Amino acid sequence: MDAELVIVADAEALAREAAQRIVGLAHEAVAARGLFSAALSGGSTPGALYRLLAKEPTRSQIPWAQVHLFWADERCVPPDDAGSNYWSAYQALIAHVPIPPENVHRVRGELAPEAAARAYEREMRRFFRGRRPDFDLVLLGLGSDGHTASLFPNSGSLAETERLAVATTADYSNRPAKRVTLTLPALNAARQILFLVSGLEKAEIVRAVFEDVEGRLPARRVRPAAGQLTWLVDATAAALVPNGLPLGPLTVIKKRL
Ligand code: 6PG
């Protein structure tokens, strides 16, 4: 499969480029299927993007009534806790746009992890009517250990083949440890996966992911079966990506905007 690596100048350009792509994807999806389903990610990187989507001129360019929001992962905390991915997206985006509340399909982080994962899986199976969860967009971040969503290195959840969401535990950067994550089969059913990565502190791990031909790192195992894979990376985070990229099962098409 092909992956696109798009390198932009800085964090601001990253948010702008992602916002433009989301406007385009939302219109295409609504024209083709009548709705736009997107799974958001947590962490600090997408905050600027969420704020941009909530502001004019982007806000009016998105058909909010047809947008359905899900999450790639969630921390098991109440929905108004500072550690909640739903809460971060709510404050930066959802509170400011005319999305119908029933279109916001959050993970119920206030439940026990296994119950929250099961409830979220039921919600996805209901929404996708038993089809694979072919999200129009899954936004993902990259942890400095190579995790993405809440799929951490060496975690048993990487081996999941049936379930769409599982409970998991990980200590990372003083963030809540109990989590619910989409599994690889759920992520890899997406029509479009967009990684957003910014900052010098990610440069080593970005290089490691692109050199990881064997797929040891969770982020490298995200390979949509029929969809598009795009890495949107700012110049400092992409600084160590070698010029002659390794090929392996992934052909990387490098662009600089
Ligand atoms: C989470 C995430 C996680 C995140 C990375 C990168 O809930 O913690 O979804 O996978 O995207 O840890 O986080 P930063 O953007 O803060 O570096």
Mean pLDDT by 10 residues, the chain (257 residues): 86 97 98 98 97 98 98 98 97 98 98 98 96 96 98 97 97 92 98 98 95 92 94 93 58 63
Question: Distance between CA atoms of 78 and 90, rounded to whole angstroms?
Answer: 13
Amino acid residing at 221: R
Report whether the peptide linkage leading into residue 46 is cis, meaning its omega lies within 30 degrees of zero: no
Question: Distance between CA atoms of 130 and 139, rounded to whole angstroms?
Answer: 22
Q: Which residue has the tokens 């999305």?
A: 99
Torsion of CA 142, 144, 149, 152, to 10 degrees: 140
How many residues would you count in the chain?
257
CB 182 within 8 A of CB 73: yes
47 lines ligand 1 (CB under 6 A): no
Question: Distance between CA atoms of 108 and 117, rounded to whole angstroms?
Answer: 8
Tell me, in angstroms, the distance from the centre of ligand 1 to residue 32's CA: 31
Question: Which residue's CA is the nearest one to ligand 1's atom 5?
Answer: 143
Collapsed DSSP state (helix, strand, coil) of residue 126: helix
Question: Which residue's CA is the nearest one to ligand 1's atom 13?
Answer: 43
What integer pLDDT is reported at residue 68 of this predicted model? 98
9: which DSSP letter? Answer: S
Q: What is the pTM (predicted TM-score) of this model?
A: 0.95
What integer pLDDT is reported at residue 247 of this predicted model? 39
